[in-house]
Amino acid sequence: MSHIARFKAEPFPLEMHKVRVVQKLNLLPVEERLKSIQEAGNNTFLLKNRDVFLDMLTDSGTNAMSDNQVAAMSIADDAYAGSETFFRLEKTLQDFFGMPFFLPAHQGRACEHIIAKTLVKKGSVVPMNFHFTTTKAHIMECGGRVVECYLDEAVISKGTNPFKGDMNMKKLSAIIKEVGVENVPFVRIELGTNLIGGQPISLRSIKEVSELCHKNDLILVIDASLMADNLFFIKTREAEAKDMSIKDIVLEIGKAADIVYFSARKLGCARGGGIMTSRKDLFDTMKVLVPLYEGFLTYGGMSVREMEALRIGIGETLDIDMISQGPEFIEAFGQMLLKEEIPVITPFGGLGLHLDARQFIPHVKSEEYPAGALTAAIYIASGCRGMERGTISETRNPDGSEHPADMELVRLALPRRVFTLSQITFIADRLAWLYKNRDLIGGLTFVEEPKVMRFFIGRLEEKGNWEEKLRDKFIEDFGIDAI
Ligand SMILES: Cc1ncc(COP(=O)(O)O)c(C=O)c1O
């Protein structure tokens, strides 16, 4: 926390919480790490958690809950219909976003399913600052397509723009004009743009998009899954928001949108999801889909215990100590890597630390999946599980050719309140070793490739035997008994 005085120490992030429940971790020997990643088809989604040392795959459903969240779970009111828990959560969300209507869903992509099913039809075009994997898949499933309207700086890894997630208004206006408002079912803003390094969008840009949408009678949908980090960045990076309370910033975001949805696995540190809207007509059309796909209207597939935890977690999002923890740890982690000249995405965003795989291993071509290969190499070097966010996370072109991602990123997620600074120091140290030995890393090729969202369950193998060479170098440098 920046307002905490320090006498001699260099700036460092300070946890404003203490750890009261712990889970033992395993760090397998390098030989077993190699075996595990190969058995998992070089896909870190397919690793067993017991084989993982630091699980930096995602922040989704893996954030640490507070004592108050756990306590609230014990007062959950179990009822299929009309549970008190639902009404408590509904009231919290209405006050939080300043929006009157709430629909529960089992997670973020379920909200996307309902929104897409309600609004998208064949030929629809949905402009957005950047896509997210599940969002795009649902829009495409309904016959629509996504057009990204991002700033040029958004996909440059070493940037200076504090809000790389801002909407490119020129591109947005142009695409609306080109396809016609009648073919744009909604415009989507993603807070804390996931796939370009957790980069925030400014409140100024949100308001600009809202104005344009409402002038053209277009619906504005805001994905607030990564809102916690984005709020911190608005508060600390945007001059106009400096004196606003976090609550006021959230209310301004709610006011700008027609629909806000979120994954409660991220926002609120629980497990679930929700759609908020200020429009009764949209609420009425969407609500009929909730019992069909999710569960009755008063739980939507969530357990009532998680709903209580979410209620408290949403309230905690207004606490600067809570929302600063992730971004400040990511910054500290990033500074350690910058000292080693390791290519990372800057300015540092939320959600996790993002490595630029194209620069880390420039000798690996996009068709050999550099981000996937680097993710596998990091696991071999450290037992830490990151996530590929590059070409493997894309979908092939309709003609079957590869669609190289704008950015080849490896995400090392920092679930909120989970890791300590010494664990971050450990992974930074292993990354420094790996960077020194980066020439050993080679490419990957698919051996099993699902058609939809292949990154989840696809399997790949190494090209050549670079993984064995990496293991041998580890043993050579650290000794046969080192783990
Ligand atoms: C920005 C964004 N939107 C939507 C989702 C989907 O949420 P869920 O994983 O709960 O389905 C995610 C998940 O990572 C996300 O980051």
Q: What is the pLDDT of residues 232-289, one digit of tens each?
A: 999 999 999 999 999 999 999 999 999 999 999 999 999 999 999 999 999 999 999 9
pTM of the model: 0.96
Q: Is 306 in the pocket of ligand 1 (CB under 6 A)?
A: no
Task: Tell me the pLDDT of the chain averaged across its residues.
Answer: 97
Active site (annotated) includes residue 379: no
Q: Is 69 in the pocket of ligand 1 (CB under 6 A)?
A: no
The position carrying tokens 């700033």 is 151
Average of pLDDT values for 351-364?
98
Residue 271: its pLDDT value, please?
97
Whether 368 has a pLDDT exceeding 80, the answer reads: yes
* pLDDT tens sequence across 26-77: 999 999 999 999 999 999 999 999 999 999 999 999 999 999 999 999 999 9
Among candidates 434, 411, 429, which has minimal Cα distance to 354?
A: 411
Residue 2 binned pLDDT confidence (cut-offs 50, 70, 90): low
Residue 172: its pLDDT value, please?
98
Give the residue, by CA position, lying nearest to ligand 1 atom 6. 108
Q: Is 62 in the pocket of ligand 1 (CB under 6 A)?
A: no
pLDDT over 70 for what percent of the chain?
A: 100
* pLDDT tens sequence across 292-325: 999 999 999 999 999 999 999 999 999 999 999 9
Residue 5: its pLDDT value, please?
86
Q: Give the CA dihedral 263, 267, 270, 271, nearest 10 degrees.
A: 0
The CA–CA distances, whole Å, from 203 to 64, 207, 208, 252 equal 28, 6, 9, 8
Residue 287: its pLDDT value, please?
98
Distance 475 CA to ligand 1 centre (A): 38
Pocket test for ligand 1, best of 132, 409, 411 (most atoms within 8 A of CB): 132
Q: Give the CA dihedral 47, 50, 51, 54, nearest 10 degrees.
A: 90
Given 232, 233, 419, 455, the catalytic residue: 455
The whole-angstrom separation of Cα 288 and Cα 476 is 62
Among candidates 245, 228, 406, 241, which has minimal Cα distance to 322?
A: 228
Distance 94 CA to ligand 1 centre (A): 21
Active site (annotated) includes residue 266: yes
The CA–CA distances, whole Å, from 165 to 202, 206, 377, 432 equal 8, 10, 29, 29
| Token pair for 142 | 């309904």
Distance 405 CA to ligand 1 centre (A): 19
Residue 93: its pLDDT value, please?
98
The whole-angstrom separation of Cα 124 and Cα 113 is 15
Residue 439: its pLDDT value, please?
98
Residue 1 binned pLDDT confidence (cut-offs 50, 70, 90): low
Q: Is 210 in the pocket of ligand 1 (CB under 6 A)?
A: no
Average of pLDDT values for 367-373?
97
* pLDDT tens sequence across 419-451: 999 999 999 999 999 999 999 999 999 999 999
Average of pLDDT values for 111-127?
98
Q: Is 60 in the pocket of ligand 1 (CB under 6 A)?
A: yes
Give the residue, by CA position, lying nearest to ligand 1 atom 16. 194
CB count within 10 Å of CB 29 equals: 16
Whether 184 has a pLDDT exceeding 70, the answer reads: yes
Give the residue, by CA position, lying nearest to ligand 1 atom 9. 108
Specify the ligand 1 atom closest to the Cα of 134. 6
What are all long-range contacts of 362-367, with beta carbons under 8 Å and residues at least 24 apart? 363/439, 364/441, 364/442, 364/443, 365/443, 366/390, 366/391, 366/402, 366/404, 366/405, 366/408, 367/391, 367/402, 367/404, 367/443
**Please, are residues 61 and 265 in contact by the beta-carbon 8 Å criterion?**
yes
Whether 392 has a pLDDT exceeding 60, the answer reads: yes
Pocket test for ligand 1, best of 134, 146, 199, 267 (most atoms within 8 A of CB): 134
Please name the amino acid found at residue 84: E
Whether 3 has a pLDDT exceeding 90, the answer reads: no
Strand-pair partners of 459: 448
Pocket test for ligand 1, best of 107, 126, 259, 263 (most atoms within 8 A of CB): 263
* pLDDT tens sequence across 149-172: 999 999 999 999 999 999 999 999
Whether 9 has a pLDDT exceeding 90, the answer reads: no
Q: What share of the chain is helix, strand, coil (3-state, %, to 5)?
A: 45, 15, 40
Give the residue, by CA position, lying nearest to ligand 1 atom 3. 225
Whether 359 has a pLDDT exceeding 60, the answer reads: yes
Distance 66 CA to ligand 1 centre (A): 22
Q: Which of 5-14, 194-203, 474-483 has the lowest mean pLDDT?
A: 5-14
